[in-house]
């Protein structure tokens, strides 16, 4: 398993690399300390199986690396790491398909638990953060339901349809689909597709 850690703090990279190398059988870990180094690493072989990505990089103030990953298959292999659990791009990344978020302040046990969940095919956000994101008001006052188009997107999400297939089926751009997915997740106060399925499934059972 090849892992790429993208973070401008060498101590963070070295600590995470040591933890993953020691606990993940056969893991090969490389680090990129800037967006430029990350772009170069993604062009080399062997390609990473997983990317641990810090959204805030000094050489990328407009988050172009993050946006390019969201527009590619790489987002399905990304786990976000950040010292800012409230960063506005976390929701965007999860809506686009990022597999999880792990705070830089997390202890090693939580990092390993989160990554194990991701490797098992789940999405992962620490429970306390997921609860805070659910409690945060996301639906404007007076909005009583989703628009017809957003309901279509929601139905496709509940079927497990990837963003690119949603775009093809609804004749929308990839960017528009990502915005719609983010809107659906925010409307229901969830952070990813799994939580959406669990929430709506629970609502249907209780109704």
Interval 99-137: pLDDT, tens: 888 888 888 999 999 999 888 877 788 877 766 665 554
DSSP of 111-125? HHHHHHHHHTT--B-
What is the side-by-side order of every strand in the sheet holding 50-54? 28-32, 2-6, 50-54, 78-82, 100-103
Interval 141-192: pLDDT, tens: 333 467 778 888 889 988 888 888 998 999 888 877 887 887 788 778 787 8
* Domain chopping of the chain, boundaries: 2-135, 148-206
* Residue 49 per-residue DSSP state: S
Q: Is the pLDDT reported for residue 203 higher than 60? A: no
CATH number listed for the domain at residues 148-206:
1.10.10.10
Class (C level, CATH) for 2-135: alpha beta
Residue-level pLDDT at 9:
93
Residue-level pLDDT at 65:
92
Cα–Cα distance measured from residue 161 to residue 165, given in angstroms and rounded to the nearest whole number: 6
Q: Is residue 128 within 8 Å of 142, Cβ to Cβ?
A: no
């Amino acid at each position: 398993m090849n892992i790429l850690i993208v973070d401008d703090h060498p101590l963070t990279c070295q600590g995470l690399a040591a933890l993953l190398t020691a606990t993940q059988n056969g893991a090969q870990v490389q680090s990129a300390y800037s967006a430029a180094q990350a772009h170069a690493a993604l062009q080399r072989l062997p390609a990473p199986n997983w990317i641990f990505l810090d959204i805030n990089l000094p050489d990328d103030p407009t988050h172009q690396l993050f946006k390019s990953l969201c527009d590619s298959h790489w987002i399905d292999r990304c786990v976000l790491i950040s010292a800012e659990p409230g960063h506005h791009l976390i929701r965007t990344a999860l809506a686009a398909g990022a597999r999880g978020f792990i705070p830089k302040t997390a202890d090693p046990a939580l990092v390993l638990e989160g990554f194990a969940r991701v490797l098992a095919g789940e999405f992962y956000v620490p429970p306390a953060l997921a609860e805070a994101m659910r409690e945060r008001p996301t639906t404007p006052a007076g909005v009583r339901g989703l628009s017809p188009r957003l309901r279509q997107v929601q139905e496709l999400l509940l079927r497990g349809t990837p963003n690119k297939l949603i775009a093809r089926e609804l004749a929308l751009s990839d960017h528009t689909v990502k915005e719609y997915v983010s809107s659906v997740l925010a409307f229901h106060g969830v952070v990813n597709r799994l939580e959406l399925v669990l929430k709506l499934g629970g609502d249907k059972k209780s109704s």
